[in-house]
Structure 1
């Protein structure tokens, strides 16, 4: 069976989400207006919900501008990974937006289709659809007087690793890319993910071998376009792989960033890798980026104590600590140095010119 996330949100979202549900509301109840917990959950940003009509689709977005100034501000455009993610990623993005705002950058994110009031269904999207969606958002941003259309870069995590290079290949105006925990080849990522999770959960060699056999069966069925009913019967227990999720996997299981990654040559690229990533083989990803993007424009930031979502491992592994950190110090959810390094990268980008 091709190992993917189920129709629910990805692991980081599921585990961290419980700690991030309406943290500001909880904080107000716990500390009262103006208290230290409320302050910790207040980011120095100006957020504005917008509806972006472009090319026959409607995006429900949130531009987050620096707290002061009129602009035009350079812009970071967010490309989501897997799952039904809203514009703020359940507030998880706000500390990042704040860090970028300190470098003078605005941020732009939007709800996945079917999330909130956004029309559509994210499970109906291909990676090409996501790239087109981002292109629409960028076109809209370039028409805003408070945003600098000549200084736009991309930030993306997880599945966005298959989308970011495609966007940059089609838009020569992209100035930089930040790729967080990206995979390169979908099939190899799926195999790694499966085995890493089984090792983490203490599975036996026999259990791992059986899971690999089921995976190979699933891949064979994908290759010949077998219907969902045959898939469910053949693997025995789909384990959350609904018909809709299977449709999404069928559309995207051949994703591979290798062909488009060379389009990033000549612009600053920050590759962010975690030391405890059970979703992505960071050794393979790092090697592929270094091979396909030779030269000083590629910078690799590795966080040994971080999980796939760049949350500190000790924080994510403790539900109590995770919830308290999200409530009292949300910026501390991230691995040490991560937010500062993101901010510093944008500061250095401003000293470099556009790609040739």
Structure 2
């Protein structure tokens, strides 16, 4: 049993990406440089042994309103998933900076990758950024907040829950569900958008994600955002795009609104027609306009998004403070928009258990017993054609093909993020159809083997027949057997 499990774990580890609903640039990305009217100051700060590099973006000294005697609010921007760098948050940083908010953007820590990430470490990175801004001469230390996108919608709240130095919190496209459940919902939407039947998409995603979680190849899969939300004591502005297909917007907004029980002010806002990252979109997945960073179209900011955030901060801190003074009291608005229509409800992900792995291993063992026995017979010089040899061989070949193809394809669906999985016929991907054909052949041959075993029972034939029987519950669990 052990060898099949090790092999399966190796396949999953090699293929599966880390958690994250937000896909972004992957090519060469030039260093960040501020546009006219703004300046970007290179900074380095530390979290333990980790050195983080960033840029502090603010109004240029000659820009109207850039009074050096006034201490301003500050904000630290926390990335979504991926090995993100500063230019990916340039649009938001410049929005805040032009509104007179001193903004820190920074490159994500170097030990973040598809198989390792720690939200605790990422939260402490954000808090190190807060400490940096609070120490700047033009920043009011009582007015420094956090902003988090997508995966940052788990990280920034965690950071806020850990420190009273954080004055406010803004999230965009944050999930109120676990990363595994969120990613499964995202993948189901992606497959449905590519023409895959709902039931098939659900089975493929559930199997692939269940394997990933069980084999610990989906970092932070079980992170519970609700526990964190209970501990947040800062004003919160939580925003979702109406057409978000990466994070469940209605469920998440409902959870934020219900579970932010200690926050003095909660504003839940929905951007009409907007995508996951508050970008203009045509289908919920694409992004229209905006700059291109690393070959990725960042998209144009949705109408009203920038003003929504900057006006909320301005309302919370109605008066600027002069140098040497600190602010006292806030007046952050508390507003709740109607929940958007969500395409489907999310479903919990159940990790593949010991029984599932045991069934997989046992199925391989009993099916492979036929060719192994054949080799042994030949080595011993035994000849002759055993009873039901042809249907037994077909059962073994087709059964193995169905088992391995179905399992591997479920892994591939999760590993590829669903982007390359398309329906070929009647809502079925081609590989999945092939696995189903193999299963049908195997079960048909299983009936023939059963008839032969009834007439001339033998241990060898019985083992193959057992494999045919075990195929039924395994295929049911995989989603291969039923449409």
Matched position secondary structure for 1:61: strand
Measure how far apart 1:187 and its partner are: 2.9
Following the alignment from structure 2 to structure 1, what is the Cα–Cα distance between the partners of residues 150 and 286? 23
User: Could you say what the CA RMSD is over the residues aligned between the two structures, in angstroms?
Assistant: 3.4
Residue 106 of structure 2: aligned partner: 110
Change (3 A) 1:24 1:147: closer
Residue 38 of structure 1: aligned partner: none
Following the alignment from structure 1 to structure 2, what is the Cα–Cα distance between the partners of residues 175 and 5? 37
Matched position secondary structure for 2:274: strand
Change (3 A) 1:76 1:220: closer
- Aligned counterpart in structure 2 of residue 101 of structure 1, from 77, 80, 97: 97
Measure how far apart 1:220 and its partner are: 5.8
- Aligned counterpart in structure 2 of residue 168 of structure 1, from 160, 173, 178: 160
Within 5 Å, give how 1:1-356 maps onto structure 2. 6=17, 12-14=23-25, 42-67=35-60, 68-70=66-68, 71-89=70-88, 93-114=89-110, 120-123=111-114, 124-184=116-176, 185-215=178-208, 217-218=210-211, 221-222=214-215, 225=216, 246=217, 249-250=218-219, 252-265=220-233, 267-293=234-260, 297-314=265-282, 322=289, 325-326=290-291, 333-351=300-318, 353=329
Q: Any idea what the Cα deviations from partners look like across 1:66-104, whole Å, max 9, x if unmatched?
A: 223325322101111100111231xxx333223223432
Assess if the C-alpha contact under 8 Å between 1:150 and 1:173 holds in 2. yes
Assess if the C-alpha contact under 8 Å between 1:12 and 1:309 holds in 2. no
Change (3 A) 1:85 1:95: same
Measure how far apart 1:133 and its partner are: 1.1
Measure how far apart 1:24 and its partner are: 10
Measure how far apart 1:285 and its partner are: 0.5
The higher relative CO (CA closer than 8 Å, separation ≥ 6) is in 1
Following the alignment from structure 1 to structure 2, what is the Cα–Cα distance between the partners of residues 318 and 128? 31
Assess if the C-alpha contact under 8 Å between 2:74 and 2:139 holds in 1. yes
Residue 440 of structure 2: aligned partner: none
Following the alignment from structure 2 to structure 1, what is the Cα–Cα distance between the partners of residues 16 and 264? 34
Q: Any idea what the Cα deviations from partners look like across 1:96-144, whole Å, max 9, x if unmatched?
A: 2232234321001110123xxxxx4445330001011112222222222
Measure how far apart 1:263 and its partner are: 2.5
The structure richer in strand per residue is 1
Following the alignment from structure 2 to structure 1, what is the Cα–Cα distance between the partners of residues 229 and 170? 13
Change (3 A) 1:331 1:192: closer
Assess if the C-alpha contact under 8 Å between 1:43 and 1:95 holds in 2. no
Change (3 A) 1:43 1:282: farther
When the two structures are superposed, what TM-score results if normalisation uses the length of structure 1? Answer: 0.73
Measure how far apart 1:354 and its partner are: 5.4
Gaps of 5+ in 2: 1-11, 61-65, 319-327, 332-483
